[in-house]
Structure 1
Amino acid sequence: MMMKNLFSWIKEDIFIIINSLKLNKKILLPIILGVVLYGKINILILLMGMIAFIDFNTFYIPDIFNYSIILIGIINTNFINLTISIIILLILLPYSKKDKLGFGDIKLLFGLSLFYGYNIFYILIFSVILSLIFSKKEKVPLGYYLFWGVVIENIWFFNFNPFSFF
């Protein structure tokens, strides 16, 4: 019985992924640009790119991607990152119950905070600024803007060296 539920859950996520590919292919170019801007093949950036594409088109983040990011975060975490993740989860959970924030967004933020720790606050700041600048809608695909926050954070904090030409 449990395997049947697991397969139906994966089948539903694959159906959503295929349908989002049919909706809007123009958004793929900036996402590919973000992955290329990062300059390295990184599984987290690729997963975030897929999440961004699907969330932008459907306002839904497939659980298979969220749980993959949470698994990557658990592998790379320490006690401080775990504490920050639990605090973020406890703070954001009431917003999900009030339908102000999707539960997929909360799971995504939990997984990202496991991986990035306190840098998740920089990612959130970048994401919120970008969403305020570029989104004129009442409902915002947070996964899309979190992707750009992750790309900016990775370029700025991990790859950025202003004195590299010396």
Structure 2
Amino acid sequence: MDTVATTAADGLIFRDATDADVDTLVALIESAYRGDSSRTGWTTEADILEGQRTDPEGVLEVIKSPDSRMLTVERDGAVVACCQLARRDAHAYFGMFAVSPALQGVGLGKVIIAEAERHAREAWGATEMHMVVVSVRNDLIAWYERRGYRRTGRMTPFPYGDERYGIPQRDDLRFELLVKELA
């Protein structure tokens, strides 16, 4: 794993997550996507998925994997955001992206995704960043498109029946692959 600790101009500290961060990161990810607390931000999935978004085992797996890292973002000593980066041949995978609902909509997400892309390009030599997004999340997909990601039309099924990914509230969920070239 490539350890990093950098400070952005706006007082953000980027670092690799440790085992001690697992519970904090699970709580952050859940708060950004599920339940009533997620409704204060714009990334909520509460209307399409109930149940959990992730669990301690899933986060710990990312932290422990030699080909991935969980980028943790702090401001004033508190964890305010995170994302998963995984090295996969010539591309990197971006996932588990969460920003505290109270801080969404102020530009923090743009800073974090730019740092993730920079790391994938410079540390791993990745030429593309890949991610999957629930295909009915048009507002979220549009946000990624404004950051240079393009829809590929390549879909994979949602894992219905596997509650580790949540409890679907509709029957038309799929994941769409989004890709961005990292120049």
TM-score, with normalisation over the residues of structure 2? 0.29
Larger Rg: 1
